[in-house]
A and B are shown apart, each in its own frame.
Chain A
Amino acid sequence: MHLTSIMMATSLIIIFLLLAFPVLTSFSPHPLPSNWALTQVKTAVKWAFFISILPLCLFLNEGAETIITSWTWMNTHTFDVNISLKFDIYSIIFTPVALYVTWSILEFASWYMHADPNMNRFFKYLLIFLIAMITLVTANNMFQLFIGWEGVGIMSFLLIGWWYGRADANTAALQAVIYNRVGDIGLIFAMAWIATSLNSWEMQQMFTLSKDFDLTYPLVGLILAATGKSAQFGLHPWLPSAMEGPTPVSALLHSSTMVVAGIFLLIRMSPMLENNHTALTICLCLGALTTLFTATCALTQNDIKKIVAFSTSSQLGLMMVTIGLNQPQLAFLHICTHAFFKAMLFLCSGSIIHSLNDEQDIRKMGGMHHLTPFTSSCLTIGSLALTGTPFLAGFFSKDAIIEALNTSYLNAWALFLTLLATSFAAVYSLRVIFFVSMGHPRFNPLSPINENNPTVINPIKRLAWGSIIAGLLITSNITPLKTPVMSMPLLLKTAALAVTIIGLLTALELASLTNKQYKPTPKLSPHHFSNMLGFFPMVVHRLAPKLNLVLGQTIASQTVDQTWLEKVGPKATATLNLPLITTTNNIQQGMIKTYLSLFFFTFSLALLLLLY
């Protein structure tokens, strides 16, 4: 084996071992020391990050990719399921990013959750979640990917429902799992199709063998899976609801790792996707719809975490659009840059929420720039990066995506929706900063505001550096797999920036209107549409469960099981036999008339027989 690939394989296995070690040792019957979370979990993730730089450097230097197949798990006739890990451009770049972000989030969580008696368990869940995510990313076959896929789903159930005494947290956790399960049906469908048609779940074999097939149906299954996991339109409501979890959970699960799993699946499957125009168009339109719809919802939310969550959903829609443009690498780039600034936005909002005594409503904030200068500066940096301000992280991916969209000949409708959503990003980002950092304080005067804690400052600082330079670092180091269009008219080139600035100016104008004595009759229905999340949860969350529960109770249980099946089964046996029984019974009641008539009857019969 070549030295490079040995080094890569070894370091990647070391990463897995490092991460798994605290989980395994935590099963020892001795109670964990109270600082276990910091000394073991955070350190493990930190070291895993440093080690993951080595394969990254090797990859950047030599372009080395490797696949480790260690063990044949199952083998039925000709169908193999192996444990095999794939370290290609995507997993090698994603792993350090995920580890870096998680490291910061864990450090922040040690401050945010310091009063929680089960902090060690919380860290353990986060760590298992991270392991599941890395399993998903490095999986080289569908079964392994499915393990990681469901692993992140179930860990998100535990983490969203962390405060399990609250009914809201429990419903949000259940909601996340159920929406993801709907997506899983798609994944199972795709896996069943692949198993029956291609007879292999190994990725390379799938890609090679699928050349001659019409892949529309399995790809629709995969897109459904991605829709569930990445909260695309139709299956999106779980993502904002998931903000019921603690803020570090939101930062980890719902910004940089779990929700991008769906997009990542499609990136992995891009060799199958790239030749199927139906599937690409579905991705494009679905993504465009998602990005606009969720950006619209973000415009009028008042919960700071909900706004950030909806912006995540909107960015996920943008990634889906990129998949639809057949630019998986750009989508991947956006996953990486997005991870930094979105995690930072969540940490900043967590810090602010904590400082204001668990207040999440942005209307009750304000003036934080004077009180928590560092956090609110970073909030601003993050928002700028999110809106695609030049040379921050978001710019390199977002601008490239919109350029690719502008120069493609695909779908003007999708282009329009995406551009509109881009301008909305500026609006809701401004709204957060306007309400949180600017203006005068509107909160309780006795808030325990203190951001001067290294476990708050350091993680946010690290992520802020990431948000500033990550885009540049990544784009200047990886080679694009597809040639980007380099020359285009000025209008197209500056479209992304222009719509963002227009959005910003409009929002500023709207904001300044609030200070003026200008009283039009407000038109509330667009506001209600946005504020009530497009009435989507109202309809879907009532109708679908109601139908199913009515089916369960009225039809399945009462009508069929308790009435009809009883009636035609056991009860029918009884009722059919009863007349016979009662008749024979009644005959033998000692009635002299019956006996005499029977006797007379048989006697006359016998007489007749004798005579003739």
Chain B
Amino acid sequence: MAAGVAAWLPFARAAAIGWMPVANCPMPLAPADKSKRQDELIVLNVSGRRFQTWRTTLERYPDTLLGSTEKEFFFNEDTKEYFFDRDPEVFRCVLNFYRTGKLHYPRYECISAYDDELAFYGILPEIIGDCCYEEYKDRKRENAERLMDDNDSENNQESMPSLSFRQTMWRAFENPHTSTLALVFYYVTGFFIAVSVITNVVETVPCGTVPGSKELPCGERYSVAFFCLDTACVMIFTVEYLLRLFAAPSRYRFIRSVMSIIDVVAIMPYYIGLVMTNNEDVSGAFVTLRVFRVFRIFKFSRHSQGLRILGYTLKSCASELGFLLFSLTMAIIIFATVMFYAEKGSSASKFTSIPASFWYTIVTMTTLGYGDMVPKTIAGKIFGSICSLSGVLVIALPVPVIVSNFSRIYHQNQRADKRRAQKKARLARIRVAKTGSSNAYLHSKRNGLLTEALELMGTPEEEHMGKTTSLIESQHHHLLHCLEKTTNHEFIDEQMFEQNCMESSMQNYPSTRSPSLSSHPGLTTTCCSRRSKKTTHLPNSNLPATRLRSMQELSTIHIQGSEQPSLTTRPLPTTSNESQGIQGKTKVKCHK
């Protein structure tokens, strides 16, 4: 429960009077406030700087150093103050946490110094407020990366548990540094991609003349050799593609991905060529298909990180590029029209139509100036010079905008991903805190039950176990207990609720009165799974692991003491009493 909200607890309890006339059974007794001290100021001397606060402010968080009796170790009798030999700057943040319920992380503070201080005061960093949490996590991650760079990171190869063959294959494909076999495969495929591309290029080079005929390109002179090379490359690519398809965790997603389409486009021409060699009509189309073989060069993007980043940034800047293209098109059309009409008069002009003038405009605006089309009239020359001057501007202006957009979008994407990840973590934290407070109540209920049972058994030394909750917690639990009494229903945790639903839906389970637990394997297994989940230490919850263990020990003492524990003295409705009895027994059975 947050600190400030604890201040409203008296109000919430007073408002509970509204339930009283509606309730049908008597309410439980309120927890007695034994220590009726007047609220006093305490002085905290941190390395010479004195801080003062109310005692109740510090007691809001009883499982930290300042909120528990641990601070008595630091009490200085002579000066009647608590002395801490620690950093006063960080202490300011820590004390503000008690006052406001929000822990802040100051940006000028070193991350490891801050972590040390938090650990000293017994505060978990997870409760840092959202305003400072991003900064804290960033700094923490940078620090961790710096530490990791110092150490060797080769140990994580053996740490992988047994992955299936398919998963290891996929990992090998995605990250070639995981094993030597993957590295070999990576280099082999890279080599064959290079061979294939070079083959395609060299095929078209004219190499020497056969006496008696004109110069042939190498492809036709050594056609068998080139065909064999091509076949070998396509074999390798096909095998690689099929292996990737087999290893992919989600085949449908793999087939739709860009890289797989490139793979397919790269090897298709060969197979289509095999099928269609003898058909004269489509040989023209077959020749154009060979063009697609150049796509094999894109397979290098698996091997090059930079190429992938370039592709990604181009994709994300698509709108800016589109704008550039649009403005260029506008300028081209305008100038082409003008040049056409200006040159219409001159004879033997190359500006035969507006589309024909497009070529001149583009060449002039991009300052290429091939010279194959030049204006001859004076008006044409004037507009031609305006065209070339404006071309420089039209092209030069959007480029910095695009470049800055690249970096902006890239960083934005990174931040958006970070924020998305943190949002999930933040929601999870809120959920954990909520379940923490409701679990604290359920635990204290069981504690109370166990305490009373132990009182019956006569083990006085264990009685004090149930009384170490803070006053605020016990008052909050009393409030929840009153609500239970008003509505005649009890709070239980989710797993037990689902278990009850399962039980009520299955009719072949006998009633809950059976004392022998061996016939209820289902109950014990769910109970065990429930227990194993509850070992996480929730922030500011009231049940540290040691108490959990001691409760389990007591449970075993309990079951060994008697066959039929009598848990009937609590004034609960009878059905819930039996179930609580069974709960107690099932708990015990798990930890024998």
| A and B form one complex | no
B-to-A contact residues, CB < 8 Å: none
